[in-house]
Amino acid sequence: MGFSAGVCISCILCVLLIFSIEACEQGHVTQEATCSIGILDLTDPAFNLPSCDPADKIVANDQGQIRTRSSCPNQSCEERASHNISHFAGPHWLQHYLRKSEYYTEDIKSADAVFVYDYCYIQWMIGDMHANERKFPHRDMHQGYTALSRLDRFGKLQGRDFVFFEPHPFSGVYSHFCEEFARSLHLVVEGPQRYICPAQDDHRDFLVVPYSSPEFVDDPVIEEVERDIDIFFQGHCSSEQIALAVRKYAVDYLNSLHLPSVQVACDKSNSHKELRGMLRRSKFCLVIAGGTASTRRLTDVMLAGCIPVFLGPPWHSLPLAQWVDYPSFAVFAELAAMKTLEMETPAVALSEPPAGQTATNLYDHAWWILDADISSAVRTIGNMSELLPLLEAMPAEEIAEKHANLRKYQSYFRYRRTPAEELDPAISSPTAVDAILGAICDHVKHVAARHAVDANAASPRKHSIFSFLNWLFRRFSTA
């Protein structure tokens, strides 16, 4: 009887999850809280970590790079902006809106889920890396995470109801994230961040989320400009890694056309503001994986309203794929000429490999696994000479439909609400924060269901007693 109840709970939760995903695909995320979420801030003195103030971290050059203030003395950096104006500020905005929402509770002990807020230390680590200062207290952080894993609240469900946010491919590098924290829910910018860790209980619980780009929210309302650029790309290229080599191959060919409507470049240095202006003028924007499976450029492309053209394999990560219908607006071009690059073409699976396997590192292309089924949208091209004709042959009606669908899902790449939405929540579009909070609640429901099934399965005596009572009830009922 107990076991049946556990199974029924699992069935009900599956139905609820399917319903919630369908609702999200229709462009709606419920604002009604379905669970309670507490925030555990690692800057709390109880963790005995070095003091950390997010205000000491700045965006120094309008390109989203975090720096420490000490690395920019006497106004030496081109531009200074708050830490939250960066591509890695997702955790900041998640806790900001969580605290203002119906999901939030101050009672960590009774919370359904606990969000570990280590944002300041992540920004410090990124800033230290960008500034090449090598002052980040890694040993102290190791001790802080150890203290976290020993909390009674963490041990309640072995961390299954805890949530971590790793907004950079190289955040979450501590052994704790593959060991004590392996059963927790991880918000990551690409799947390989979790595939480098062994599965626990046959599960890897993670959600791929977008990079932040809140500066788009602060831009004044801009009228739609003429999109006079047919295809645009700008990013780092190299012949040393396969995805970077695909970029170089694509840029070299497209530049050889000498067309004003084709604006592509490798390693071009300009401001992020200038880049955004170019994106807004572009019809199609190439999105190619880089040194790792994710890039910050996808968020920029989406918020600029440019139709993303994913070129692969290896394929780029697809954030919030349960909510965002990528085939409805994006173009996926499979490059058959990958073999001419004299590199091994990766076998990209559509599903997670067996739980007993792990990726060797973030650069293991065989683990750059598609986050959504794009089979209905993939167009195979023999080489780069076929890409531009493919896009030029697209009817105006199809392009207009793709733009309309893109606008429908655009807000999922924002963590912040627009000023108008802040004044009138009734006009708000669903954001990445909305999707994440809903996903956290779904996660803890599944954790509860799995925990109930496991507990019942581990209690054969309980089942035998229930069976005996049922037998007695049936016997005397028919007597």
Closest by CA to 196, choosing from 444, 366, 343, 351, is 366
Confidence of residue 460 (pLDDT cuts 50, 70, 90): low
- From the number of C-beta atoms within 10 Å of its C-beta (0-12, 13-18, 19+), residue 79 rates as middle
Torsion region of 45: left, alpha or beta (phi above 0 gives left; psi -120 to 50 gives alpha)? alpha
Closest by CA to 280, choosing from 362, 219, 344, is 219
Is the pLDDT reported for residue 330 higher than 90? Answer: yes
- From the number of C-beta atoms within 10 Å of its C-beta (0-12, 13-18, 19+), residue 84 rates as buried
In a domain, 354, yes or no: yes
pLDDT confidence of residue 64:
61
In a domain, 211, yes or no: no
Same domain, 333 and 376: yes
Same domain, 166 and 56: yes
pLDDT digits (tens, 9 = 90+) for 16-63: 333 343 444 434 444 578 999 999 999 999 899 999 988 887 776 655
CATH number at residue 408: 3.40.50
Same domain, 257 and 173: no
Same domain, 408 and 308: yes
Question: How many angstroms separate the CA atoms of 188 and 138, rounded?
Answer: 20
What are 135's two structure tokens? 């002052």
Confidence of residue 425 (pLDDT cuts 50, 70, 90): confident
In a domain, 195, yes or no: no
Number of Cβ within 10 Å of residue 379's Cβ equals 13
pLDDT digits (tens, 9 = 90+) for 183-193: 999 999 999 99
| Contact between 140 and 118 (Cβ < 8 Å) | no
In a domain, 79, yes or no: yes
- Pick the last residue of a domain from 140, 166, 188: 188
What are 117's two structure tokens? 């807020």
pLDDT confidence of residue 3:
34
What single-letter amino acid sits at 87? Answer: H
The strands making up 307-312's β-sheet, listed across from edge to edge, are 262-266, 229-235, 282-287, 307-312, 331-335, 378-381
What are 93's two structure tokens? 């905005």
In a domain, 350, yes or no: yes
Identify the helix (H) or strand (E) that includes residue 332.
strand 331-335
pLDDT confidence of residue 419:
85
| Contact between 229 and 429 (Cβ < 8 Å) | no
Closest by CA to 350, choosing from 381, 318, 328, 382, is 318
pLDDT confidence of residue 467:
53
Same domain, 42 and 118: yes
Closest by CA to 405, choosing from 333, 318, 305, is 305
Q: What percent of the chain has pLDDT over 90?
A: 54
Q: DSSP assignment of 262-320, as one string?
A: EEEEES----HHHHHHHHHTEEEEEE---SSS--THHHHHHHTTPEEEEEESSPPP-TT
In a domain, 209, yes or no: no
Q: Most confidently modeled of 64-73, 206-215, 258-267?
A: 258-267
The 3-state DSSP class for residue 413 equals: helix
| Contact between 21 and 478 (Cβ < 8 Å) | no
Query: In sequence order, what are the residues at sequence separation of 6 or more whose Cβ sits closer than 8 angstroms to the Cβ of residue 366?
Result: 346, 347, 348, 349, 359
Question: How many angstroms separate the CA atoms of 468 and 160, rounded?
Answer: 34
Same domain, 401 and 447: no
Same domain, 42 and 75: yes
Same domain, 118 and 103: yes
- From the number of C-beta atoms within 10 Å of its C-beta (0-12, 13-18, 19+), residue 254 rates as buried
Question: How many angstroms separate the CA atoms of 326 and 321, rounded?
Answer: 7
Identify the helix (H) or strand (E) that includes residue 187.
strand 185-188
- Pick the last residue of a domain from 422, 445, 461: 422
pLDDT digits (tens, 9 = 90+) for 299-328: 999 999 999 999 998 899 999 999 999 999
Q: What percent of the chain has pLDDT over 70?
A: 79
In a domain, 197, yes or no: no
Pairing relationship of beta strands 229-235 and 282-287 according to DSSP bridges: parallel
What are 256's two structure tokens? 């050889």
Q: Lowest-pLDDT range, 45-49, 76-80, 154-158? A: 76-80
Same domain, 1 and 60: no
pLDDT digits (tens, 9 = 90+) for 197-243: 998 888 889 999 999 986 666 555 556 788 999 999 999 999 888 89
What are 388's two structure tokens? 């531009």
Same domain, 339 and 435: no
Q: Domain of 351? A: 219-422
Question: How many angstroms separate the CA atoms of 78 and 80, rounded?
Answer: 7
pLDDT confidence of residue 449:
84
pLDDT confidence of residue 174:
87
Q: Give phi and psi for 283, each to the nearest 5.
A: -80, -50
- Pick the last residue of a domain from 166, 188, 210: 188
- The rounded mean pLDDT for the chain is 83
Same domain, 329 and 270: yes
Same domain, 391 and 452: no
How many domains does the chain fold into? 3
Question: How many angstroms separate the CA atoms of 303 and 300, rounded?
Answer: 5
Confidence of residue 268 (pLDDT cuts 50, 70, 90): confident
In a domain, 207, yes or no: no
Stretch 424-453: mean pLDDT, rounded? 90
Stretch 137-155: mean pLDDT, rounded? 94
